């Protein structure tokens, strides 16, 4: 990097351009931060919606519908003398018979309630192929047809920085992060349509596992959250989980693999028995 900069120095003007670009970037970032700081301090910029509550009668309220009631001249039946009568034929739950009907549902009332006990996501990708010396030929045979693509898969050099770096070995990181954040995630599971509660975030983390910048909704979630209160509640719940469980404990030497999480996918449908 340093050598390329040195080379650029010799050319003169391109360096000027690069420096200008850098300085501009610094100014923009600084402005953003200072603006954000500023707005937080001034609560007046966050408007309050005034709600004018007119005088409310202590007992009830007068509604338009009530005025429509007298349309039909009510047959004024004065309250008659109260005469209680025994043996009320309670309409709803009265008829009791002891003959047990079809008995399939046992007295385990809580059974059907959606399971909420947090479970660690099973690690599927940990299965290692057992190396069987006797089977080595069969293994080779199977690989033969796709032999042309095999060298590519094996050639990635893990010491080279940049893309391709350990990308195939991130399943354990996903599981680790998922199991940490789920302790803090309390999705609004009583909502009528569980499909609305699925949200995706883009999150940048610092090397110490803390949050580098506020998580952003991505994909369909962003637009849906703006218009649907259920999606917004689901997005808020996921965002709170991301914040509350931070900083995350992840291997520092593999930071380049978890510096960005996208999509950070929250889906409570399993919890709701869907």
Q: Which residue's CB is nearer to another protein, number 124 or number 146?
A: 124
Q: 205 forms bridges with which residues in the sheet?
A: 211
Give least dist CB 8 to another protein, A: 7
d(CA 86, CA 246): 65
- CB of 263 vs another protein, minimal distance in Å: 6
The candidate with the shortest Cα–Cα distance to 250, out of 177, 190, 196, is 177
The rounded distance, in Å, linking the Cα atoms of 22 and 146 is: 47
CB closer to another protein, 222 vs 256: 256
Residue 213: which H helix or E strand, with range?
strand 211-217
> Which one, 41 or 141, has the nearer CB to another protein?
41
For residue 138, the minimal CB distance to another protein (Å) is 33
Alpha-carbon torsion (11, 12, 18, 22), positive or negative: positive
Q: Minimum distance between the CB of residue 41 and another protein, rounded to whole angstroms?
A: 6
Asked, as a colleague might, if the bond just before 247 is cis with ω within 30 of 0, I would say yes
> Residue 56 or residue 133: which is nearer to another protein going by CB?
56
């Amino acid at each position: 990097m340093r050598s390329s900069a040195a080379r650029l120095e010799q050319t003169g003007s391109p360096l000027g351009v690069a420096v200008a670009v850098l300085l501009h970037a610094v100014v923009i970032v600084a402005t953003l931060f200072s603006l954000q700081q500023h707005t937080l301090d001034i609560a007046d910029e966050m408007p309050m919606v005034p709600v004018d509550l007119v005088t409310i009668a202590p007992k009830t309220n007068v509604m338009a519908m009530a005025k429509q009631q007298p349309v039909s001249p009510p047959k004024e039946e004065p309250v008659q003398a109260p005469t209680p009568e025994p043996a009320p034929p309670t309409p709803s739950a009265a008829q009791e018979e002891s003959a047990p009907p079809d008995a399939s549902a046992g007295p385990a009332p809580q059974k059907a309630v959606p399971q909420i006990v947090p479970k660690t996501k099973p690690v599927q990708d940990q299965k290692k192929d057992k190396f069987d010396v006797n089977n080595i030929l069969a293994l080779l045979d199977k690989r033969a047809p796709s032999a042309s693509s095999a060298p590519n898969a094996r050639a990635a050099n893990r010491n080279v920085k940049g893309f391709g770096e350990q990308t195939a070995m991130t399943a354990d990181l996903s599981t680790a992060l998922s199991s940490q954040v789920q302790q803090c995630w309390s999705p609004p599971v009583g909502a009528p349509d569980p499909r609305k509660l699925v949200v995706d975030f883009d999150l940048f983390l610092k090397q110490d596992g803390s949050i580098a910048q506020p998580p952003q909704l991505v994909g369909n979630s962003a637009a849906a959250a703006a218009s649907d209160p259920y999606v917004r509640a689901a997005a808020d719940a996921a965002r709170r989980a991301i914040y509350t469980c931070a900083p995350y404990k992840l291997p520092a030497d593999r930071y380049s693999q978890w510096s960005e999480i996208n999509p950070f996918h929250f889906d409570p449908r399993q919890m709701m028995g869907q």
